[in-house]
Structure 1
Amino acid sequence: MHPALSVIFLTTLIGAGQGLYLAMVTGQLYAVARFLPRQEEQFYAIGSLVALVLLIAGLVASFFHLGRPERAWRAAAMWKTSWLSREVIVLPVVMALVFAYGIAHLLDWTQPLFRVGQSLDVDVTLLLGLLGTVASFALYVCTAMIYAGVKFLEEWHTPLTVTNFIFFGAASGFMLAAAYSAYVGNPLVTFYGTWAAILTVVALGSRLAHLLRNARIKHKSTVQTAIGVRHTALNQMAQGATGGSFNTREFFHGRDSKVLILIRYCFLVLVFPAPILLIGAAYVTESSTLPILAFAIQFVGLMLERWSFFAEARHPQNLYYQSVA
């Protein structure tokens, strides 16, 4: 498939935004459980604002992928059958809850509404955080299922696509939370950095399993089945047209196999070992810049990973364009 830059930005930005929001809520839950000290409300408010900015940026990026942006509202019409429609509906819900969560902290709406058990005080921020967490995971699933639900693209049609989107988004979000904590001088940089490293390792396992699965795929469609000729040696000498077409532009990336391998090795280094090593070095040196560098490097790697994810999908229509695809 042809990786659209707008979709790469959409999926990586909203994934990191959701992950950062989940990191803020996780930090608050640990504080409520008295495993961590309670932070100032401004810390959660600014973190939520950054998450909201990323979500908005991802939404803006999505408009560059539309042929008729003024008709974007119609994308929600098929919510009963389309994962894209569900994503279009859930994304504004997540944005609204992230905004409300940040505002609640900014206005210090932390008076307990009721108590659970002996010591768990539930306030508005905690309720909004839990609702936003559920909505964020729903958005991860909706975004991933847009691709995992396409049965004829066998490289995508697997639950591993869903786990990749969840763990990549969560890892980048917690890595950003560590960078944010380091930037403002908050002691939670160790907490968020540790969780970021754990989630990055889990994401590595999920992605390696995905790559191994795709390497072993035996495609149902071949040149022989495409044209109904059983001969073992078939070669297409021409694509049947003098120029390119929508099919050859949109369903094939147009890059050499060596480029695909290079990008794969690059993202495997930039997403996984590099940020983990930088976070580890930040612990030893107590550096406030290394966590920021770790997030920046990982995010670049995530964009390469998402390019590779789209490019590795082999659209069956390319069987008819062997001289091009």
Structure 2
Amino acid sequence: MGVYQHLEEYVGLPVITFNEDTDVAETGEGDGEGDGHGAGGDPLPPAGEVAWSVGTSFDEEAFGDVFARFLRTVDTAEVTALIIGYWGASYDSGAADPVALLTEVAGSFPKLRALFLGDITGEESEISWIEHSDITPLFAAFPDLERFEVRGAQGLGLDPIKSDRLKVLRFESGGLPAGVVRAVGASELPNLEHLDLWLGEDNYGGDATVADLAPFLGGERLPALRHLGLEDSEIQDEIAAAVAGAPVVARLESLSLAMGVLTDQGAEALLAGQPLTHLRELDLHHHFLSDAMVERVRAALPGVQVNLDDQEKPDGDWHYIAVSE
């Protein structure tokens, strides 16, 4: 999943985009039927058979207006997967708060199970410029969510949450605030299987420390966790050293320390720590390992699918994460 192209598939469903260019003959307006047709007369696909992406573009139709048209046109009672694209920014007259809009109409989405907040490409907004609000209300408004993902972290707020349904939780950012990391760590998510945190760098608000990761590494609060991603970090070596002795690793099926400033020091700590041979996948792509260390890692994990793509070279003394601004 990249940050420079829109999703074409989500939770196994093809993505249908509903934006300022969507020209539909709206039928059932106001009666909840939502059986809109395209401008050429072709009916829109059944609402529950696709993932719907709703967004606008800079200086085009206001996101709130696009979203209102979507509600009138599509039978949202059948929607299971929703993607929120560009909704504007503080310098855009059409800016909106998607959290407020979604929570206000949560009852219109009784079958919603997957939500991606911020499928916004670099051309629309750099990842660290995406402006958020407190996302905590979404989890109360949509208690049956099984998958939640968010891109961007400027202004992002989160309090500890409780959910017996959530299985996948992902944060994509160039700098994830420590407060958000700590809130996730304090949450009650007994059935969470997949967790990804793009921690980013301090210049863009990524101020979490290894100590903030203790709840994830201990694993007690996440008994069902099978995939852990602690990625895109400027302290990737410190994270690798902590992971090397972390109790949670023994029950993981996949581990990602990708996209960050991983050097031979961090890889050495991993190899000297607990066995990783039980893993199905180890993702270390975008790294600063030497050729010799790359070979050592491969040789030490013959039965593991190890991703060591994107071997980077430092610019002098400067090592860089994959996604920042």
TM-score (normalizing by structure 2) = 0.26
Instruction: Report which of the two structures shows the higher radius of gyration computed on alpha carbons.
Output: 1
Q: Which has the higher helix share?
A: 1
TM-score (normalizing by structure 1) = 0.26
Q: Which has the higher strand share?
A: 2
> With CA pairs under 8 Å and 6+ residues apart, which has the higher RCO, 1 or 2?
1
